[in-house]
Chains A and B, each alone.
Chain A
Amino acid sequence: MSGNSTYEPKSGIERWLDSRLPIVRFMNDTLVTFPTPKNLNYWFTFGGILALMLGIQLITGIVLAMHYVPHVDYAFASVERIMRDVNYGWLIRYMHANGASMFFLAVYLHMFRGLYYGSYKAPREVLWIIGCAIYLVMIITAFMGYVLPWGQMSFHGAVVITNLIGAIPVIGSAITTWLWGGFAVDNATLNRFFSLHYLLPFVIAGLVVLHIWALHVTGNNNPKGVDVKSKEDTVPFHPYYTVKDGFAIGVFLLLYMSFVFFNPNALGDPVNYVPANPLVTPAHIVPEWYLLPFYAILRAVPDKLMGVILMFGAIAVIFLLPWLDTSKVRSMRYRPTARLYFFIFVFVALVLGYCGGQLPDDQVIPGVSGLMLIDADINSFVWLSRIATLYYFAYFMVILPVLGLTETPIPVPESITDPVLSHPAMTPAGAVASPEKRG
């Protein structure tokens, strides 16, 4: 689609096709000859892993849809029926359910990589934004998929999340009714969620094509964050990265399959094996682990509308990152101060995830009663969530913009193959170990 293609059609039919639809050329340029920086580490293998996960989710999902019944009276039993009576149905369903968790695990590590090595900076802003869009659609798809088994958590989770729309002034409740297809979460809601859950993965697939297209215009970032200067800096994608990604996929599959075969329900909530009952609300409504940080942000705010705005804002701010980070240096290897704040950010995101799974009023340190501050004890998960939420937004909106202008990065290597600085272990000892030089 772009860049310098080195594809030479070898047979008559390839030449014929190439002058009409250069699809073989595109695949060749994408998967075979694509010049890739030779210093990519394992953090750069998650793109391949994610492509595989999308494929697995699509295939298992299409098979599940052949047996699933999207009706409030039959959905729960049809899912169990798949696991009991469909040939290898247990394998297909557990691959799909755990696949969602693994998909999110991989996407978080992929985003971590992007954040750490500055993969969102010029000229890769559009690439980054498409990636954010994929993540957003993934969240919506996963949420709708979780509703389909029609267990207690499916139903009450759907009630809680769709009710959030009602916080929008004036038109909120009308939109909620429109989304539900009625005046409560019911059969119409389940049906449309099934329809959209089937549709959206193909939207993701389309976005993935755009994501790869954008990647192939700019080329890969790399751990040093410096541009490719010469042919010396790169190797062809195949076989060098097909084999490296392949190895990483093998390791990832070992983790994924250990859940599927030996602990398939470990990542899910047991309450979702109780059929949905609108009259009985579970003691503790929580989303799946991958959405807990956003749930914590939502509950940190006493005002419903503000909570919803902040929750969506937490995702929206990631879209704006290319313009919020003012530093010209991409890789945090050469930004010791930013690196420190980044690791705090990662820790804070994990803390938010933990808070999301706790009851807001429970004590963080058991047995210690602290001060009442405004509406809650200072020693409670709601206050821990508030502090963490503050840092979450401050990292994007204050720390990164200011740091780029004030910090002094350590010297960035001239090129990827620069022999002196080819690996962090070979950089002068003082260079990495003195983040205090300038704050």
Chain B
Amino acid sequence: MLRKNIALAALGLALVAGPAFAAGEAKEPRSVAWSFAGPFGKFDAAQVQRGYKVYREVCSACHSMNLMFFRNLGQKHGPFYDPDYANPNDNPYVKALAKDIQVNDLDSETGDTIQRAAVPADKFPSPFPNEAAARASNGGAAPPDLSVITKAVEGGPDYVYSLLTGYVAAPAGLKVGPGQHYNPYMAGDLKAYWTGKGEAPQGGFIAMAPPLADGKVTFDDGKPSTVEQQARDVVTFLSWASEPKQTERKQFGFGAMIYLFIFTILLWFSYKRIWRNVGH
């Protein structure tokens, strides 16, 4: 009876823990073997550095990352971490990266709005002064903030990667509006725009033009700059930014699980010993 009950409970857990979503009309994201996936996954610092460059040179033209500070780049498990600088605000590389970026500030003497070079304690500046401006510059669709993007979308890093690399020419018979682009991984319903034969194609329209192109970013470590590579690197960077403490979490968790496991085994033997003379 007990075994049956456990099986039922397990079934229940499996049922409820599964994604409780009906699939849309979009194509299933391609699955990528990410270096940071799984309980022992880690970020490759060089890859996150390249990804930051892609964000800085391409994405940041339209997308904000309001939860990110320059100092985050130099914190432990961050892309520019240097053990000599426990305080990332002192990290010379991070200082140099920040210095290239202008941020808004107030002149404390006059109260005037000024621009100055960023320091590590500054937030990544937003490309637009406000949401209305972001919308106005992008055909009515404000580019989403990318701070937690890989945990804010169904499919996570796989989805973002598939979307970035998934742009294809719209099939003949699909009417694409001005300022719109067809992407098979984008959620949407294309029935109303479809005049071709058979079922309407999978996917939807997205206001973002294909952002990446071969050679668009020059990688400092000499990696060939393909769309594929740029997408992989920037998604790795965005995944790190979504959960900057995930390496720490996994390492801490590994120790905690071993401790708990040994503790539980000891409790099991204590239990057996204490109950040894009780018939039950």
Which A residues fall within an 8 A CB radius of B? 38-39, 41-43, 77, 80-81, 83-84, 90-91, 94, 105, 109, 112, 116, 235, 239-240, 243-244, 246-247, 250-251, 253-254, 257-258, 260-262, 264-267, 270-271, 273-275, 283-284, 286, 289-290, 292, 333, 343, 346-347, 350, 353-354, 356-359, 362, 417, 422, 424
Q: Which residues of B contact A357 (CB under 8 A)?
A: 16, 20-21
1/0 per residue, CB under 8 A from A, across B238-253: the answer is 0000011100111011
Chain B positions 25 through 39: 1 when the CB is less than 8 Å from some CB of chain A, otherwise 0: 000000000000011
Complex interface: stretch among B178-186, B219-227, B264-272: B264-272
Cβ–Cβ contact A283 & B24, under 8 A: yes
Q: Which residues of A contact B87 (CB under 8 A)?
A: none
User: Is B249 a contact partner of A333 (Cβ separation < 8 A)?
Assistant: no
Residues of B228-280 whose CB lies within 8 A of A: 243-245, 248-250, 252-254, 256-257, 260-261, 263-264, 267-268, 270-271, 274-275, 278-280
Q: Which residue of A lies closest to B152 (CB)?
A: A273
Question: 7 A-B pairs, CB-CB below 8 angstroms?
Answer: A112-B9, A253-B260, A273-B152, A292-B20, A354-B20, A417-B279, A424-B1
Is there contact, CB below 8 Å, between A247 and B271?
A: yes
* A262 adjacent to B39 (CB under 8 Å): yes
Chain A residues with CB below 8 A from B278, complex form: 38, 235, 240
| Cross-chain contact B187 with A261 (CB below 8 angstroms) | no
Tell me if B172 is interfacial: C-beta within 8 Å of chain A: no
Query: Nearest chain-A residue to B147 (Cβ)?
Result: A80
Q: List, in ascending order, chain A residues with CB within 8 A of B245's CB.
A: 83-84, 90
Those of B51-86 within 8 Å (CB) of chain A: 66-67, 72
Query: Which chain A residues border B192 with CB–CB below 8 Å?
Result: none
Question: Once bound together, how far apart are the Cα atoms of A83 and B242, in whole Å?
Answer: 10
* Contacts known (A244-B271, A292-B20, A350-B12); A84 close to B244, Cβ less than 8 A: yes
Closest chain A CB from B203 CB (angstroms)? 15
Q: How far is the CA of A321 from the CA of B224 in the complex (A)?
A: 69
Q: In the complex, what residues of B have CB within 8 A of residue A273's CB? A: 148, 151-152
**Is B22 in the interface zone, CB < 8 Å from A?**
yes
B15 at the interface (CB under 8 A from A): yes
Beta-carbon contact of B67 and A84 below 8 Å: yes
Residues of A within 8 A of B271 (CB): 243-244, 246-247
Contacts of B260 in A (CB 8 A): 250, 253-254, 257
Is B154 located at the chain interface by the 8 A CB criterion? yes
* A-B contacts besides A283-B24, A350-B12, A424-B1, 8 pairs, CB < 8 Å: A244-B271, A244-B275, A246-B271, A261-B39, A273-B152, A274-B152, A292-B20, A354-B15
Residues of A within 8 A of B274 (CB): 239-240, 243
- Which residues of the other chain, A, contact B263 by a CB distance below 8 angstroms? 250
A77–B67 CB distance below 8 A: yes
What residues of B have a CB within 8 angstroms of the CB of A271 in the complex?
Answer: 152
Q: Which of A109, A240, A261, A289 has the most CB of B within 10 A?
A: A261
In the complex, chain B residues whose CB is within 8 Å of the CB of A251 = 264
Residues of B within 8 A of A290 (CB): 16
**B2 and A41: CB pair below 8 A?**
yes
**Could you tell me the distance between the alpha carbons of A362 and B21 in the complex, rounded to whole angstroms?**
11
With A239-B274, A240-B278 given, is the CB distance from A261 to B252 under 8 Å? Answer: yes
Decide yes or no: A270 and B249 within 8 Å by CB, A257-B257, A283-B187 being known contacts. no
**In the complex, are the beta carbons of B1 and A333 less than 8 A apart?**
yes
Q: How far is the CB of B259 from chain A (nearest CB, A)?
A: 10
Known A289-B20, A343-B8; contact A90-B268, beta-carbon cutoff 8 A: no
Cα of A158 to Cα of B252 in the assembled complex, Å: 35
Q: Is B96 an interface residue (CB 8 A)?
A: no
Cβ–Cβ < 8 Å partners of B66 in chain A: 77
CA distance A292 to B16 in the complex (A): 9
Are B152 and A247 in contact (CB-based, < 8 A)?
no
